[in-house]
Amino acid sequence: MAYENELHLAQLAVQRATLLTRRVYAAKSKGTLSKSDASPVTIGDFGAQALIIAAIKHAFPSDEVVGEEDADDLRTNEALRSQIWELVQEATLDDAEAEAVLGGPIKDVDGMLTALDAGRSAGGAKGRIWALDPIDGTKGFLRGGQYAVCLALMVDGEVVVGVLGCPNLPVDDKERLDTSIGADQTDAEGKGVLFSAVLGHGATSRPLTRGALAEGTTIKMKPLEDITQATFCESVEAGHSSHGDQAAIAGKLGITKESVRMDSQAKYASIARGAGDLYLRLPISKTYQEKIWDHAAGVVIVGEAGGTVTDAWGKKLDFSIGRTLSGNKGVVAAPKAIHPEVLKVVIEVLSSK
């Protein structure tokens, strides 16, 4: 299979980083996250980004990375730096072979800062560039709801590999599509899902483990014969997409079920495995540019599960321009067969404003 080594590296790197974020959340819940006064999401973000970029640079030294964070804050904040260094050192997988693929633990603090700073790529249309969101769904992470550790590889501007670590999604998609997982979250095994896809080779999901990767299962979007029966997903945050426009679109499509609101790219993952049908993200702000790391992994996973993802005007999301999707507005994700029908209504609603 194409990109087999990249996929394996990405899966293990996301797995290791996701476990770190879960440990941070558990420590926050227990009140033991006291060393610096930084927010738990900042701590998780830095730790996860350092781990993932160190692994990428070990396996593919000349690849670039577009990451959300850099090391500036850590260079000036000693307490935060040492807290994150401690976490990063402890974040090893229970599997020597997996650790060897990742290059083992980061060697020293400088190595951690260098890894963080390697996320400054400007992106673009040429070469191999990874897009990384160490904690997507900041608000979800803080409320004990959905968040995702997101990593994608783009080659010449096209997303070819995508991996999402969703530690608070139920392993069994027959369980509730829920946003309120609760503050009892621990870093124990038995919760969470790792999603992945390679362009042209399908999408899979597997339970999140602490050691070797669990066996993957192919995922497919739900065949939807009657659009009025659809479940649509949207952001929790009203500032990130227009709940009003999305309700108007659902109404025009004859959808009567309430929307499922969840943070992060867990929305892409959920519809890809058929726990939901549509994802609508209609812009609120005229000027906001969506970030590539908020979409790259989710888009290839939905595409490989039988979906189509475009922006709100039907344009393909263009990851080749830089760190943002400056050529696009909004997101419409749906099963291939019904995407045109959904898009028609999206354009009607946007045009009538």
Ligand X SMILES: Nc1ncnc2c1ncn2[C@@H]1O[C@H](COP(=O)(O)O)[C@@H](OP(=O)(O)O)[C@H]1O
The residue within the footprint of ligand X, chosen from 6, 64, 136, 304 (CB under 6 A), is 136
Q: Smallest distance, Å, CB 289 to ligand X?
A: 9
Q: Which of 336, 326, 330 is nearest to 302 (CA)?
A: 336
Of all residues in the shown chain, the one whose CB is closest to ligand X is 235
Catalytic residue among 18, 42, 92, 138: 138
Contact string (CB under 5 A) for Mg ion, positions 273-302, x = contact = ---------------------x--------
353 burial type by CB count under 10 A (0-12 exposed, 13-18 middle, 19+ buried): exposed
Q: Smallest distance, Å, CB 148 to ligand X?
A: 9
**Dihedral (Cα; 169, 172, 178, 180), 10-degree rounding:** -60
Does 110 belong to an annotated binding site?
A: no
Give catalytic status of residue 138 as yes or no.
yes
Does 97 belong to an annotated binding site?
A: no
CB nearer to ligand X: give 59 or 317. Answer: 317
Measuring CA to CA, how many Å separate 60 from each of 5, 10, 151, 163, 167? 10, 11, 15, 17, 26
Does 184 belong to an annotated binding site?
A: no
Is residue 277 near ligand X by the rule CB under 6 A? no
User: 335 with 174: CB under 8 angstroms?
Assistant: no
Is residue 291 near ligand X by the rule CB under 6 A? yes
Instruction: Give me the residues paired with residue 164 across strands.
Output: 150, 195
Q: What is the rounded CA–CA span in Å between residue 95 and residue 89?
A: 15
Catalytic residue among 18, 21, 42, 45: 45
CB nearer to Mg ion: give 9 or 132. Answer: 132
138 binds, among Mg ion, ligand X, none (CB under 5 to 8 A by kind): ligand X
Is residue 270 near ligand X by the rule CB under 6 A? no
Give catalytic status of residue 45 as yes or no.
yes
Place of tokens 């650790």: 99
Is residue 138 near ligand X by the rule CB under 6 A? yes
Q: Which positions ≥6 away from 255 have C-beta within 8 Å?
A: 227, 228, 229, 230, 232
The residue within the footprint of Mg ion, chosen from 6, 45, 63, 136 (CB under 5 A), is 136
Q: What is the rounded CA–CA span in Å between residue 27 and residue 23?
A: 6
Q: What is the rounded CA–CA span in Å between residue 146 and residue 183?
A: 12
Measuring CA to CA, how many Å separate 89 from each of 17, 38, 107, 111, 244? 12, 19, 9, 12, 45
Residues with a catalytic annotation lie at 45, 138
Residue ranges binding ligand X (CB under 6 A): 133, 136-138, 235, 237, 239-240, 263-264, 284-285, 288, 291, 294
Binding residues for Mg(2+), by number, are: 68, 133, 135-136, 294
Residues marked as binding? 68, 133, 135-136, 294
